């Protein structure tokens, strides 16, 4: 696997952690497929990679739609080559206290995070098994440990940890590792939307989170991309079924 250009798929790569991860993996030497709901939204990510002489394509797919995922992965295999890295990053929030949480709040979060990771992993594993090599990294969260207003999201992010450990067991014999990164508070549009929803200025929101974080700052998408880069590397082949908290402290 060392010489030819390896191929990485990053979901939710239009912005935030996914965009930073796509750029980092391109800098690491991967040809990158930036997947998001609308391919056009990945234009900035692809342009940033092209500007540094990297190789990337934008692919439109809803990760919760099985046919769309199969088509997207086939498209990547045809246009970039067989994928050897998958980053399950696409995500949404539908926060609400349990008594106000709608069926749709629950189903949407489960569909994107859990079903999305399942569908994407199932679609790429056949290429990885054929190659006897692969790296699957899924985005969990410190919310997996429990977080007020996030019964849906916490369940999905904890679920991804069990999913990851099971993939590690099933796919290990084929040279495929599966790991999760669990970020704490990272400055993205997702956390900006949370601040807006609770009516707090985003700068003040960040300052409060930084003050309660052991390293006394909030996280950046690049902090998470760095951990993903390690887990996606060839040298991390003996690390599998693990959850790395990227949270400025032991639990964020």
Which residues sit at the interface with ligand NAD, rule CB under 6 A?
11-12, 14-18, 36-37, 62-64, 89-92, 112, 116, 139, 141, 183, 185-186, 188-191
Q: Is 127 an active-site residue?
A: no
- Min CB(138)–ligand NAD separation in Å: 8
Contacts 24+ apart (CB under 8 A), 55-60: 55/5, 55/26, 55/31, 55/80, 56/22, 56/26, 56/31, 56/32, 57/32, 57/33, 58/34, 59/33, 59/34, 59/35, 60/35, 60/36
Q: Identify which of residues 111 and 233 has a Cβ nearer to ligand NAD in the complex.
A: 111
Looking at the DSSP bridge assignments, the partners of residue 9 are 33, 86
* DSSP-derived 3-state class of residue 25: helix
Q: Identify which of residues 133 and 156 has a Cβ nearer to ligand NAD in the complex.
A: 156
- Min CB(116)–ligand NAD separation in Å: 6
CA distance 214 to 223: 15
Please tell me which residue in 133, 153, 230, 245 is annotated as part of the active site: 153
Q: Identify which of residues 185 and 205 has a Cβ nearer to ligand NAD in the complex.
A: 185
Q: Identify which of residues 85 and 133 has a Cβ nearer to ligand NAD in the complex.
A: 85
CA distance 106 to 39: 26
- Min CB(108)–ligand NAD separation in Å: 9
CA distance 131 to 129: 5
Contact between residue 160 and residue 139 where contact means Cβ atoms under 8 Å apart? yes
- Min CB(67)–ligand NAD separation in Å: 13
Q: Which residue is nearest to ligand NAD (CB)?
A: 16
User: In sequence order, what are the residues at sequence separation of 6 or more whose Cβ sits closer than 8 angstroms to the Cβ of residue 56?
Assistant: 22, 26, 31, 32, 33, 34, 45, 46, 49, 50
User: In sequence order, what are the residues at sequence separation of 6 or more whose Cβ sits closer than 8 angstroms to the Cβ of residue 193?
Assistant: 93
- Min CB(195)–ligand NAD separation in Å: 11
Nearest by Cα to 121 from 79, 91, 172, 164: 164
Q: Identify which of residues 141 and 161 has a Cβ nearer to ligand NAD in the complex.
A: 141
Contact between residue 39 and residue 58 where contact means Cβ atoms under 8 Å apart? yes
* Catalytic site positions: 153
């Amino acid at each position: 696997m060392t010489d030819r250009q390896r191929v990485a798929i990053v979901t939710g790569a239009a912005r935030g952690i996914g965009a930073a991860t796509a750029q980092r993996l391109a800098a690491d030497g991967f040809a990158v497929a930036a997947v998001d709901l609308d391919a056009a939204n990945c234009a900035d990510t692809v342009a940033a990679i092209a500007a540094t002489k990297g190789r990337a394509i934008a692919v439109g797919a809803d990760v919760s739609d099985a046919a769309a995922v199969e088509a997207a992965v086939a498209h990547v295999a045809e246009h970039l080559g067989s994928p050897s890295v998958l980053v399950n990053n696409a995500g949404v929030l539908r926060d609400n206290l349990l008594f106000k949480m709608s069926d749709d709040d629950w189903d949407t979060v489960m569909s994107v995070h859990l079903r999305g990771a399942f569908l994407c992993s199932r679609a790429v594993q056949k290429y990885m098994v054929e190659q006897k090599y692969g790296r699957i990294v899924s985005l969990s969260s410190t919310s997996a440990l429990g977080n007020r207003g996030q019964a849906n999201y916490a369940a999905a992010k904890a679920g991804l940890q069990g999913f990851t450990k099971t993939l590690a067991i099933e796919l290990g014999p084929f040279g495929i590792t599966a790991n999760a990164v669990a970020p704490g508070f990272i400055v993205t549009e997702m956390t900006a939307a949370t601040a807006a929803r609770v009516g707090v200025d985003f700068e003040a929101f960040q300052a409060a989170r930084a003050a309660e974080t052991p390293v006394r700052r909030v996280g950046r998408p690049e902090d998470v991309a760095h951990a993903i880069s390690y887990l996606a590397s060839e040298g991390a082949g003996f690390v599998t079924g693990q959850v790395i908290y990227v949270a400025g402290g032991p639990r964020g």
